[in-house]
């Protein structure tokens, strides 16, 4: 029997990268998975693969920049499965804009997509989890939520906010709902590729004990730990999954 047998898991930003790897792992562990993102072709591909492998999933197209984001995902989840057990707030974007020239609009785009959407979606699902007496929320922050590392001012600020949001929600929603976060280091995904090539990656790799980039599947296994009673006495924590950066 899988570790998430009979559970319903909503994973935002699961059309690619670490969210997609988590969707595959959660489905393999028996969860009914709600896949979300903006790209329909990729969303359908993820759902088709889960079903082909014997799992259960639906997809919802929703833009985290839109006010309708949380309601759309909530409505589709409740219509399909009638409940939720695990919410992983993973959707995110990275603005390359720098301190000297970033506009207020560019700054707020990172904040809204990376943080506000997570709060709004959690606000929708928390009462469902409270009513059933348990639930797990996992917020994906970043190692740049601990220390700045890079000069991407909006992204760094948004990930520090995600760390704060995780702690605030853990206090607010205990003891029924466990709220924890993951701080990934440099993980091989489309987002990392958008930052640059080898010249950018090597200095990051040099700062890790393990001397390599991470895989999306390594974030997925950390998420599985935080989504089950295996982490029953862990709340309000941010788990660094980064290969040992600056240790």
Ligand X SMILES: NC(=O)c1ccc[n+]([C@@H]2O[C@H](COP(=O)([O-])OP(=O)(O)OC[C@H]3O[C@@H](n4cnc5c(N)ncnc54)[C@H](OP(=O)(O)O)[C@@H]3O)[C@@H](O)[C@H]2O)c1
Q: Which residues bind ligand X (CB under 6 A)?
A: 13-19, 37-39, 42, 63-65, 90-93, 113, 140, 142, 184, 186-187, 189-192
Contact criterion met (CB below 8 Å) for 157 and 95: no
Output the smallest distance, CB 35 to ligand X, in A.
9
Tokens of 215: 């895989």
Angle formed at CA 99 by CA 94 and CA 103, multiple of 5 degrees? 75
Output the smallest distance, CB 101 to ligand X, in A.
21
H/E element, 20: helix 17-28
Tokens of 27: 């489905």
Output the smallest distance, CB 104 to ligand X, in A.
18
Give the residue closest to ligand X by C-beta: 17
Cis bond leading into 165, ω under 30°?
no
Output the smallest distance, CB 76 to ligand X, in A.
14
Per annotation, catalytic residue among 24, 74, 81, 155: 155
CA 243 vs. chain centroid, Å, equals 18
Output the smallest distance, CB 131 to ligand X, in A.
27
3-state secondary structure (DSSP) of residue 73? helix
Contact criterion met (CB below 8 Å) for 183 and 146: yes
Q: Is 155 a catalytic residue?
A: yes
- Of 39 and 103, CB closest to ligand X: 39
Tokens of 55: 């799992």
Contact criterion met (CB below 8 Å) for 180 and 167: no
Q: Exposed, middle or buried by CB within 10 Å (0-12, 13-18, 19+), for 82?
A: exposed
Q: Which of 31, 11, 36 is nearest to 228 (CA)?
A: 31
- Of 129 and 192, CB closest to ligand X: 192
- Of 37 and 55, CB closest to ligand X: 37
- Of 217 and 229, CB closest to ligand X: 217
CA distance 3 to 227: 9
- Of 132 and 211, CB closest to ligand X: 211
- Residues annotated as catalytic are 155
């Amino acid at each position: 029997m899988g570790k998430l047998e009979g559970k319903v898991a909503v994973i935002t930003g699961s059309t690619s990268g670490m969210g997609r790897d988590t969707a595959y792992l959660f489905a393999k562990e028996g969860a009914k998975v709600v896949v979300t993102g903006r790209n329909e072709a990729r969303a359908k591909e993820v759902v088709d693969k889960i079903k082909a492998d014997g799992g259960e999933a639906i997809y919802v197209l929703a833009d985290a920049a839109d006010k309708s984001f949380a309601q759309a995902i909530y409505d589709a989840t409740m219509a399909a499965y009638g409940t939720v057990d695990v919410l992983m707030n993973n959707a995110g974007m990275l603005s390359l804009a720098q301190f000297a020239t970033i506009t207020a609009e560019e700054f707020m785009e990172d904040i809204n997509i990376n943080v506000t959407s997570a709060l709004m979606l959690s606000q929708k699902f928390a009462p469902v989890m409270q009513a059933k007496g348990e639930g797990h929320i996992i917020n994906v922050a970043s190692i740049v939520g601990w220390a700045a590392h890079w000069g991407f001012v909006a992204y760094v600020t948004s990930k520090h906010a995600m760390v704060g949001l995780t702690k605030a929600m853990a206090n607010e929603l205990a003891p029924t709902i466990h709220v924890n976060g993951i701080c990934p280091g440099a993980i091989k995904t489309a987002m990392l590729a958008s930052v640059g090539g080898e010249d950018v990656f090597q200095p990051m790799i040099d700062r890790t004990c393990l001397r390599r980039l991470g895989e999306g599947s390594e974030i997925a296994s950390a998420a599985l730990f935080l989504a089950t009673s295996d982490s029953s006495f862990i709340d309000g924590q941010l788990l660094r999954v980064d290969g040992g950066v600056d240790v």
